[in-house]
Amino acid sequence: MTKAITVSGLHKSFGKTHALDGLDLDVETGEVHGFLGPNGAGKSTTIRVLLGLLRADSGATQVLGRDPWADAVELHRHLAYVPGDVELWPNLTGGEAIDLLSRLRGGINKQRRDELIERFDLDPTKKGRAYSKGNRQKVAIVAALASDAELLLLDEPTAGLDPLMEVVFQDVIFEAKAAGKTVLLSSHILAQVEKLADRVSIIRLGQIVQSGTLSEMRHLTRTTIEAETERPATGLDGLPGVHDVQTDDGRVRFAVDGSRLDGAVRKLIEFGIRSLVSHPPTLEELMLRHYGDELAANGNSKSHSTGTTEADGAVR
């Protein structure tokens, strides 16, 4: 597979702030790539460098085989971008803004545009200032998806969308993927990335801390097992890779490292399994693993903060 985006050793500072600190990123052609990280980690800065809107201090960047700073305009004809915070022209209607952005990109598929407006339930006759945040977001999404771009750069595209529209968005992204488009989806909504992304990169303080498919990543973390056994399960604590064992009247709950799962389940069989539930690690746990030290430093223990909002809040 060819790569749609390759980034290596990217640095970008704003005054004294090092927004990007040696970032590496690879996105294969035709995949949906999740780009995860809390607020302020450098997601938007990375995307703006990929668009040639910001000039990197150092590092090599290639998007669709081009240098985004030198070749911005030619590159932009092949990609579409949805910013996280869409600002529209107050005296232009949503429909006009969609046409403007799409035609400046090099053409619009009228039928697809109308279909998307219909599916997203958008009123294209309203003026920019009359739209709510979610509706402004829809305008940018429709403009991006109505074009024939081969690469979609989406920077927290669904911020402000209601759950129904979130579902429509997911369908549309699946269609884009089926049509062979490449998608870079930055987000801190884990459920969304979990559903859509083939591969995920986690960014923290301007660096990619982990990158891979979800199954690869899960392998690196712990699975949670809850079981009901005929006889009280004992001796699990002593096994390598088993953590946080809690027993309660014939029920047992523990976490086990991905590589030690086999041994733990064998041991459990000895006590006669009545029921067994295993939770694969969620992205939240993956994220917490990378931000856990910061959370701890801020006085939150892992068990308390499972929500994304808390994880974000603690890093801020």
User: Which residue ranges make up the site for another protein (CB under 8 A)?
Assistant: 44, 48, 51, 53-55, 72-73, 76-77, 79-81, 83, 85-93, 95-101, 103-106, 124-127, 129-130, 140, 143, 153
CB of 223 to another protein, least distance (A): 41
Name the residue among 92, 89, 145 with its Cα closest to residue 117.
Answer: 145
Mind giving me the DSSP string for 210-252? EEEEHHHHHHTSEEEEEEEESS---S-TTSTTEEEEEEETTEE
Please say which residue, 104 or 269, places its beta carbon nearer to another protein: 104
Give the span between the Cα atoms of 108 and 195, in whole angstroms: 29
Please say which residue, 140 or 227, places its beta carbon nearer to another protein: 140
CB of 108 to another protein, least distance (A): 9
Please say which residue, 93 or 186, places its beta carbon nearer to another protein: 93
With beta carbons less than 8 A apart as the criterion, state whether 264 and 254 touch. yes
Name the residue among 204, 205, 181, 185 with its Cα closest to residue 194.
Answer: 185
Please say which residue, 139 or 208, places its beta carbon nearer to another protein: 139
CB of 191 to another protein, least distance (A): 26
CB of 15 to another protein, least distance (A): 12
Please say which residue, 21 or 257, places its beta carbon nearer to another protein: 21
Please say which residue, 87 or 249, places its beta carbon nearer to another protein: 87
CB of 85 to another protein, least distance (A): 6
Strands 182-187 and 32-36: parallel
CA terminus-to-terminus distance, the chain: 37
Give the span between the Cα atoms of 256 and 241, in whole angstroms: 6
Q: Is the dihedral of CA 193, 199, 202, 203 positive or negative?
A: negative
Q: Tell me the sheet residues that pair with 33.
A: 184, 199
Q: Tell me the sheet residues that pair with 155.
A: 186
CB of 93 to another protein, least distance (A): 4
